[in-house]
A and B are shown apart, each in its own frame.
Chain A
Amino acid sequence: MEKKTIVIGVIGADVHAVGIQILYYAFSEAGFNVVNLGVMVSQEEYIEAAIESNAEAIVVSSLYGHGELDCQGFREKCEEAGLEGILLYVGGNIVVGKQPFEDVEKRFKAMGFDRVFGPGTAPETTIDALKEDLLGIK
């Protein structure tokens, strides 16, 4: 099987550094070629990395509450840069405080994210989704 490339990182001014190292480990173990941008990643940095590495998915993490502000316009920027239809995931504590997940998911999907994951998502859940969306494995 050819290895699929994905770009991961923590968006905005967020410095939560532990989880992204675990995701890097788990996604790599699951057989993906993972470009880990670490913490405090701008939309432009994800896009540049995705172009350079010929990635098929960008997986955005956010833990600190500013996710909604940081993700505004991300899909549009991807398209402008020529990444039409690239798979976009977002997950973590992506809004300020405890809010009904269905509402949060709706808002982020409206922003153009293909999948939205809530607080405490296990890496396996995201791995299953990546395998389904990128490899057609259910």
Chain B
Amino acid sequence: MIELANKRYDDEEFFREREEVLKTWHTGQEVDLSEAVEYQRSIKTEKRFCTKLGNAIKGKKTLVQPRAGVALVDMHVQLLQYLENEGEADLLPTTIDSYTRLNRYEDAEHGIRESKTHGKSMLNGFPAVNYGVKGCRMVTEGVKSPVQVRHGTPDARLLAETAYAGGFTSFEGGGISYNIPYAKNVPLTETIKKWQYVDRLTGYYEEQGISLNREPFGPLTGTLVPPCVSNAVAIIEGLLAAEQGVRDITLGYGQCGNLVQDVAAIESLRYMSEKYLKRFDYDGYILSTVLHQWMGGFPQDEAKAFGVICWGSAVAALAKATKVIVKTPHEAMGVPTKEANAAGLRATKQVITMLADQALPQDSVLLSEIDLINRETEQILERTLELGDGDIAIGTVRAFEAGVIDVPFAPSRFNAGKMMPARDHDGAVRFLNVGNLPFDDSIKAFHKKKLDERGKAEGRGVNFQMVVDDIYAISKGRLVGRPHK
């Protein structure tokens, strides 16, 4: 049984474990921590994630960032260069392939060989561990902008070691957000512990004067996730990271589709995360936010897809998110071409720039939505802390067991799956069934009322068919899944 607590890693334990981690694939031997620290120190400040995010916070700007990754190094560098030059990307990604995410490096090797044979990428991302430190440095040195690793890896220890030594200055993921939506059979205790390692490694660099950005994955399953659920998870991962010495944290949220609810969600995320970080006496941190454009199913038609992309851009700008993660007009078909990727970025930049000086009025509708999300998030977090006798790591494991935190449509068997979301008549995501989420009666009554209103307007009962209709709605051209006529 793994001992879990929200406590800074013991140095001796960390370095002992580190030796084992570096042996899990042969490229691990290339990682020399003191050399890596010096290499990171040589990276110019304008090419660092923290610098760009910090400047964006000060200038109240929203930065744009794509997703992108292919199997071969030279093709990957060309892709990133294209996205910064033709797509006007402010921040760059390196999306990792799905075999690497499961530590299946042999399969990734096979994918690299097949890609070379066919002259095209047969993997859905860049297999960074297989290429090792040298391959990663070819990527980060080949571009002008800061680069972040984006993935979905339950055990990302070797990937993080390789990435930081390879010149990446930001690393996405967390022990909850890269488990529950990305794995079927991996206990939370295990992933939280392994991500504490990643955070401690980040903290180690921080102590050497190298600030690296960490970004928990906000949208979770990306499908009708109520804001309080994803915000609670983001705040927990922020706290876990801060405990290990991480100081540059980006918390994220995936667009749900109703403008007021989405802006409220980001405002609440900012407020509640500050509140909890202060409560546990963390200081010296820099907090930024990221909005993910719609993560669910997309329309096939590229013009309609641009409509979805632009609506997400509007949310990011009006919520004053520090950055926005951009979708592409090829989303419905899978991995995009570089041209489609750049087109999504340019459309996003246009909308964001146009809305840069505008904000939603702080009226009663917005304020009551913010207040609702604050209260819901607080009730989840307080119950989680209670379950952990004050320890947020232990509490999280127990909260998932009990369904106090419950992520809709998650593949993990460690998620209760008792809660069911659906849209209300205005398209905001509400609870059709709260499951075991620890809400007070007034919150439960509010959600019931909202769903009843929709049922009445549609002349049908409130049931799972509504959820099915909602899931298909955007790809069919609307937000709320109305009944078939």
Report which A residues bind B (CB closer than 8 A). 12-15, 17-18, 21-22, 25-26, 38-40, 63-66, 68-69, 93, 95-98, 119-120
Q: Is B87 an interface residue, CB under 8 A from the partner?
A: no
Q: Give the interface segment out of B51-59, B327-335, B346-354, B381-389.
A: B327-335
Q: Which residues of B contact A39 (CB under 8 A)?
A: 184, 411
In the complex, A63→B184 CA distance in Å?
16
- Ordered nearest first, which 9 A-B pairs have the shortest CB separation? A93-B334, A65-B124, A17-B411, A13-B98, A39-B411, A98-B333, A18-B409, A97-B335, A18-B223
A18 with B334: CB separation less than 8 A: no
Q: List 16 extra interface pairs beyond A98-B330, A98-B333, CB under 8 A.
A: A13-B99, A13-B101, A13-B107, A14-B98, A15-B98, A38-B184, A40-B183, A64-B334, A66-B98, A66-B122, A66-B123, A68-B122, A69-B110, A69-B122, A96-B121, A119-B332
In the complex, A66→B110 CA distance in Å?
12
Q: Mind listing 25 A-B residue pairs with CB under 8 Å?
A: A13-B98, A13-B101, A13-B102, A15-B98, A15-B152, A15-B183, A15-B411, A17-B221, A18-B223, A18-B409, A40-B411, A66-B98, A66-B111, A66-B123, A69-B110, A69-B111, A69-B114, A93-B334, A96-B120, A96-B121, A97-B333, A97-B336, A98-B333, A98-B336, A98-B337
Q: Which residues of B contact A17 (CB under 8 A)?
A: 181, 221, 409-411
Smallest CB gap from A101: residue in B: B333
Task: Report A20 CB to chain B, min CB distance, Å.
Answer: 9
Q: Is B217 an interface residue, CB under 8 A from the partner?
A: no
Q: Which residues of B contact A25 (CB under 8 A)?
A: 464, 468
B98 with A64: CB separation less than 8 A: yes
Q: Is B300 an interface residue, CB under 8 A from the partner?
A: yes
| Interface residues of A, dominant DSSP | loop
B468 with A96: CB separation less than 8 A: no
In the complex, A69→B71 CA distance in Å?
14
Q: Is B471 an interface residue, CB under 8 A from the partner?
A: yes
B300 with A120: CB separation less than 8 A: yes
Smallest CB gap from B296: residue in A: A18
A13 with B104: CB separation less than 8 A: yes
In the complex, A26→B467 CA distance in Å?
12
Smallest CB gap from B99: residue in A: A13
**C-beta contact mask, B462-475 vs A, less than 8 Å → 1, else 0?**
00100010011001
- For window 385-428 of chain B, which residues contact chain A by CB distance below 8 Å? 409-411
In the complex, A42→B482 CA distance in Å?
36
Smallest CB gap from B413: residue in A: A38
**C-beta contact mask, B77-120 vs A, less than 8 Å → 1, else 0?**
00000000000000000000111011010010011001000001
Task: Report B71 CB to chain A, min CB distance, Å.
Answer: 9
A119 with B334: CB separation less than 8 A: yes
Query: Which residue in B221, B223, B335 is a CB contact (below 8 Å) of A65?
Result: B335
A21 with B409: CB separation less than 8 A: yes
B335 with A96: CB separation less than 8 A: yes
Query: Which residue in A38, A96, A119 is a CB contact (below 8 Å) of B124?
Result: A96
In the complex, A23→B92 CA distance in Å?
35
Task: Report B179 CB to chain A, min CB distance, Å.
Answer: 10
Q: Which residues of A contact B464 (CB under 8 A)?
A: 25
Report which B residues bind A (CB closer than 8 A). 97-99, 101-102, 104, 107, 110-111, 114, 120-124, 152, 181-184, 221, 223, 296-297, 300, 330, 332-337, 340, 409-411, 464, 468, 471-472, 475
In the complex, A39→B181 CA distance in Å?
11
A95 with B98: CB separation less than 8 A: no
Task: Report A106 CB to chain B, min CB distance, Å.
Answer: 16
In the complex, A38→B300 CA distance in Å?
25
Best-surrounded residue of B101, B104, B114, B335 (most CB of chain A within 10 A): B335
Query: Which residue in B102, B123, B336, B475 is a CB contact (below 8 Å) of A120?
Result: B475
Query: Which residue in B101, B333, B340 is a CB contact (below 8 Å) of A93?
Result: B333
Best-surrounded residue of A18, A21, A25 (most CB of chain B within 10 A): A18
Q: Which residues of A contact B336 (CB under 8 A)?
A: 97-98
Known: A38-B184, A65-B124, A66-B123. A119 touches B221 (CB 8 A): no
Q: Which residues of A contact B181 (CB under 8 A)?
A: 15, 17
Known: A15-B181, A39-B411. A98 touches B334 (CB 8 A): yes
Q: Which residues of A contact B152 (CB under 8 A)?
A: 15
B122 with A12: CB separation less than 8 A: no
Q: Which residues of A contact B110 (CB under 8 A)?
A: 69
In the complex, A35→B111 CA distance in Å?
30
B184 with A15: CB separation less than 8 A: yes
In the complex, A93→B102 CA distance in Å?
20
In the complex, A22→B473 CA distance in Å?
13
In the complex, A65→B464 CA distance in Å?
29
Task: Report B271 CB to chain A, min CB distance, Å.
Answer: 30
Q: Which residues of A contact B111 (CB under 8 A)?
A: 66, 69
Q: Which residues of A contact B409 (CB under 8 A)?
A: 17-18, 21
Q: Which residues of A contact B475 (CB under 8 A)?
A: 120
Query: Which residue in B98, B297, B334, B410 is a CB contact (below 8 Å) of A12?
Result: B98
In the complex, A63→B471 CA distance in Å?
16
Task: Report B136 CB to chain A, min CB distance, Å.
Answer: 21
In the complex, A38→B412 CA distance in Å?
10
Q: Which residues of B contact A119 (CB under 8 A)?
A: 300, 332-334
In the complex, A15→B98 CA distance in Å?
9
B122 with A22: CB separation less than 8 A: no
Q: Which residues of A contact B107 (CB under 8 A)?
A: 13, 69
A66 with B223: CB separation less than 8 A: no
Q: Which residues of A contact B300 (CB under 8 A)?
A: 119-120
Task: Report B8 CB to chain A, min CB distance, Å.
Answer: 31
Task: Report A35 CB to chain B, min CB distance, Å.
Answer: 16
Task: Report A99 CB to chain B, min CB distance, Å.
Answer: 8
